[in-house]
Structure 1
Amino acid sequence: MQRSGKEVSATLSSKGYVLRKQLLPDEYFTPLARPMNPSPPAPTIVFITGAVVTAACWDNWKSFFEAAGYTCYAPDWPHKAAPAAVLRGQHPHSPIARNSLADVLKVYTDFIAQLPAPPIVIGHSFGGLIVQLLLQQGTVAAGVAIESAPPLGVVVPSRTLVRAVLPMLGLFSSLQTTFLPTFAQWQYAIANGLPRADQRAYYEKLAAPESKRTIRGALSWQARVNFRRPHAPLLFLAGGTDRIMPAALNRANYRRYRHPASIIEYHELPGRSHAMLGQPTWREDAELVLRWLLGLPG
């Protein structure tokens, strides 16, 4: 597949649909035979959580990258440091309701500001949008946006997206109360394709109330990205069966970036729902990210 301006490669394989601006050697995509350890000192990774979940969604990924030699952090969103079950007990009158997109972004900008060097940022869903906003600030070394919520103005027609996102916006409800997905909503929008027992376990571990202000912030100027500005290397991962942030939306997001000298790459992974971080294939996906990071220049 060719795209005007710069060389682009597109392949469809067992690894999924891949778009990338820089052509890399074949061994870049071969399965790992052993753990890959970056030369010390390894960069820091900051994991950025999405909406309606806690930072516990990163437990496996954090352990994986720590074993690879990285220093890893997964800061909590405001008022979301408690276990998910405790947070659900505070719904609907949780202090989480006061959070805005700006409040959530500030958690990460402040955290990054106190680090000794620009980190790698890896975000999922709404956290992917935060990754894009941080890259725009020029304060990070590289970014990975997994099943990312889109910046302002990136839209595609999708019935599944509308069905999944509309309840979270709470358009006809008070902003003073939180949104908490029901188990049925969780099954449809996030954990589709998983066995019911796994869907339930994932819900009990992670599902948390969310601020409707924060979700609506993605539709405001706060979520604006200048796609023509230079930026740190950026990798998009999309799930082939994701209903809430479908692959077509992630692909449209990727294609909006226009700076010819900036590295950007897109991978579409078949069989991944919005629960990609916790599916049985999570390690394979984490290894893909690790290979990409280790293959970056410099």
Structure 2
Amino acid sequence: MSDSAARTITEHELEQCKQANAAGRPPVVFIHGLWLLPSSWERWVTLFEEHGYVALTPGWPDDPETVAEANAHPEAFAGKSIGQVADHFEEIIRGLDTKPVVVGHSFGGLLTQILAGRGLAAASVAIDPAPFRGVLPLPISALKSAFPVLGNPANRNRAVPLTYDQFRFGFANAVDEDEARQLYETYAVPAGGKPLFQAAAANLNPWTEAKVDTKNPDRGPLLIISGEKDNTVPWAVANASYKQQQENPAITEIVELQGRGHALTIDSGWREVADTALDFLKRTAS
């Protein structure tokens, strides 16, 4: 583990690890994706702790604390690679006394699978996960969702905010207009471009950081959750991720939630997604 990963861990994250180790309950680590912050998991934290877990919500390196701060200082998100972020979360997980359950959304879902492939998870839930090397489908809607970043090569080293219309298409297409605007105002922040460029080029680069050890038998049980109406990570992408991993000796499942878009972890239907994850973990996590 690199020294740089250790240096990115905040006092708050260290305190979360200490509290989890002292709690004597199974830990769950939530990993957000691009254009969101750890605060997007607040309702999940309450629910999972009601079900006996102790929850940790680490940020990506240098995440601002609030949406207002993030929108005021978008440069904080720039320049972070998938490998750097994965190492950051690995360092946090290695600070726990017990292997955690890991739950991630979008690029957090990709990171969840990377960490599981490193043997760091007791069980994992990857929700609408971003693709990794070996996942070949490129649906038109996914390309359109990524275009605000990928449309300009200079965005690789920048942070890029979404307009409301871009957020509506990429995240909130499956909710009504009022809820979409409320989600945008409450949760949306800029995102670093580098991870998207890495994922887009993963199948052209044998040395990509956007790769998952799909065969590690210590990966633990894995559930992939896909939203039927997700424009950013459509079923074809989620199912291709599943097919890459279905031969793993550990339990591997996929479920499609009808009528749900990419904002399924934060919109008014979040509880259905969380209950699906909890049901899987109750069945499979030791």
TM-score normalized with structure 1 length: 0.82
Distance 1:84 1:111, change over 3 A: same
Matched, 1:126 2:114: no
Residues of 1 paired with 2:197 and 2:156: CA distance? 10
**2:68 match:** 85
- Which residue, 261, 281, 286 being the options, matches 1:293? 281
CA distance in 1, matches of 2:177, 2:51: 32
Contact 1:85 1:205 in 2 (8 A): no
Post-superposition offset of 1:155? 2.1
> What SS does structure 2 have at the residue aligned with 1:102?
helix
Higher helix share: 2
Matched, 1:153 2:134: yes
2:266 is equivalent to residue 278 of structure 1: yes
Change (3 A) 1:87 1:292: same
Partner in structure 1 of residue 216 of structure 2: 229
Cα offset, 1:260, TM superposition: 4.8
The alignment's C-alpha RMSD in Å is 1.7
Structure with bigger gyration radius? 1
Tell me the secondary structure at the aligned position of residue 153 of structure 2.
Answer: coil
Structure 1 runs not aligned, ≥5 long? 1-39
The corresponding residue for 1:143 is 124
Structure 1 range deviating more: 119-128 or 283-292: 283-292
CA distance in 1, matches of 2:60, 2:150: 18
1:17 matched residue in structure 2: none
Residue segments in structure 2 that go unaligned for 5+ positions in a row: 1-22, 203-207
What do residues 88-123 of structure 1 show as CA deviations (whole Å, max 9, x unaligned)?
A: 1223xx132121112211221011010001100000
Given that 1:178 and 1:211 are in contact with CA atoms closer than 8 Å, whether structure 2 keeps it comes out as: yes
| 1:297, distance to aligned residue in structure 2 (A) | 6.1
- The counterpart of 1:54, out of the listed 24, 37, 43, is 37
Distance 1:204 1:151, change over 3 A: same
Residue identity opposite 1:196 in structure 2:
E
Question: What secondary structure, in the 3-state scheme, does the structure 1 residue paired with 2:154 have?
Answer: coil
Superposed structure 1 runs of 4+ greater than 3 Å apart: none
Residues 245, 65 of structure 1: alpha-carbon distance in 2 compared, 3 angstrom cutoff: same
What percent of counterpart residues are identical? Answer: 31
Report the Cα offset of residue 67 of structure 1.
Answer: 1.2
- How far 1:273 sits from its partner (Å)? 0.4
Could you say which residue in structure 1 is the equivalent of 2:80?
Answer: 99
Measured after TM superposition, the shift of residue 184 of structure 1 is: 0.7
TM-score (norm 2): 0.85
